[in-house]
């Protein structure tokens, strides 16, 4: 029988994930400046700003702490080819700016932001041009994983990109039952593999329940990934998973060289600093742009105490613990 967490926190989280997908609420927020400004105050904890220049400043500050960054120009589900091309052009500016400023950074993107929601071929063309430009600048390009309706297209595009480029990484979600097979395949290809628990609301027939089921899958996939020696990113804030990875690497004498620990900007920054102090490579995922609404909903949903914090920040109360 389906296990369902009926705690108030779990229900609030599920509601937020639903709100995140509601186009009319999103349109309302974009249209009404007051609502936008109020929510933007809460979003700022998690983003590098609304424009690239702001984000580059934040990236430089993060670099000063010996943490690498990966910059994402936020957005997804772009509905026409022109907008997808504009998004790809903005990513080219990100690549150029990283190179010009000598930042320790890579780029991360959603394929649906650069054309997948219009046509898979368009996303491939835009992604391939970007991967080439990133490669010329000596940078990695990470592909994020979206909702399950896109998993197959995202993986297929990654497969095709890997035939041409060696610097394109892929994100895999531990909550999906299919991921063990996807990981085996991804291990055959170049490009970093980023392992996350998964952020979307998915049907129970294809995804594990949040909590111990997902955590057990994460541990198993992490063992496979770390033992492989493949370039990887352990992308979690979960202290138990971080300890597990550290013990697994140490007890099995596995090289730390291909391994990176990666966390979201504004989330548990002291945990990433601790991994850096242990001598691990570390990276902060730093998104920017005006499309922060969905991103904010995800961050609130995955850690409901953030709702209180966001509420206080939205109305101008100074909440301690902001990164930087």
Q: Which of residues 274-293 bind ligand FAD (CB under 6 A)?
A: 285
36 binds ligand FAD (CB under 6 A): no
| DSSP SS3 for 318 | coil
**262 in contact with ligand FAD (CB under 6 A):** yes
Longest alpha-carbon distance in the chain? 56
Looking at 137, 303, 312, 314, which residue binds ligand FAD (CB under 6 A)? 303
DSSP assignments along 47-116, one per residue: SS-SSHHHHHHHHHHHHHTT-EEEEEE------SHHHHHHHHHHHHHHHHHHHHHT-SEEEEE-GGGGTT
How far apart are alpha carbons 260 and 275 in whole angstroms? 10
**CB 57 to ligand FAD: min, Å:** 20
151 binds ligand FAD (CB under 6 A): no
The one among 120, 221, 267, 294 contacting ligand FAD by CB under 6 A = 267
Binding status of residue 90 toward ligand FAD by CB under 6 A:
no
Contact string (CB under 6 A) for ligand FAD, positions 201-240, x = contact: ----------------------------------xxxx--
Residue among 150 and 230 whose Cβ is closer to ligand FAD: 150
Whose CA is closest to 317, among 47, 54, 38, 50?
A: 38
Q: Does 306 bind ligand FAD (CB under 6 A)?
A: yes
CA dist list (Å): 305 to 43, 124, 203, 311: 15, 39, 25, 10
Cα–Cα distance for residue pair 259/186, rounded to 1 Å: 16
From candidates 140, 151, 299, 313, binder to ligand FAD by CB under 6 A: 299
Residues that bind ligand FAD (CB under 6 A): 144-145, 171, 173, 196-200, 235-238, 262-264, 267-268, 285, 299, 302-303, 306
């Amino acid at each position: 029988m389906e296990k369902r967490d009926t705690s108030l926190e779990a229900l609030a989280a599920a509601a937020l994930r639903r709100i995140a997908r509601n186009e009319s609420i999103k349109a309302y927020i974009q249209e009404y400046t007051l609502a936008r400004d109020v929510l933007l105050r809460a979003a700022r904890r998690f983003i590098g700003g609304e424009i690239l220049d702001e984000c580059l400043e934040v990236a430089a500050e993060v670099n000063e702490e010996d943490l690498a960054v990966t910059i994402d120009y936020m957005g997804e589900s772009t509905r026409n080819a022109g907008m997808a091309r504009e998004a790809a052009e903005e990513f080219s500016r990100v690549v150029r700016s990283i190179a010009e400023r000598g930042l320790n950074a890579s780029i991360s993107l959603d394929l649906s932001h650069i054309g997948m929601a219009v046509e898979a071929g368009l996303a491939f063309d835009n992604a391939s041009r970007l991967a080439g430009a990133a490669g010329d600048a000596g940078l990695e390009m990470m592909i994020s994983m979206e909702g399950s309706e896109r998993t197959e297209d995202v993986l297929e595009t990654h497969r095709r990109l890997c035939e041409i480029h060696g610097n394109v990484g892929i994100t895999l979600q531990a909550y999906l039952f299919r991921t063990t097979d996807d990981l085996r395949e991804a291990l055959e290809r170049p490009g970093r593999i980023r392992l996350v628990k998964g952020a979307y609301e998915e049907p129970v027939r294809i995804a594990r329940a949040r909590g111990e089921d997902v955590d057990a899958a994460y541990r198993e996939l992490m063992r496979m990934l770390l033992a492989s020696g493949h370039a990887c990113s352990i992308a979690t804030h979960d202290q138990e998973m971080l300890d597990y990875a550290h013990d697994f690497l140490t007890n099995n004498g596995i090289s730390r060289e291909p391994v990176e620990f990666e966390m979201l900007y504004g989330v548990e920054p002291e945990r990433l600093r601790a991994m850096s102090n242990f001598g691990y490579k570390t990276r902060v995922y730093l998104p920017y742009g005006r499309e922060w609404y969905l991103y904010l909903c995800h961050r609130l949903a995955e850690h409901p105490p953030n709702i209180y914090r966001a509420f206080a920040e939205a109305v101008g109360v100074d909440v301690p613990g902001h990164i930087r």
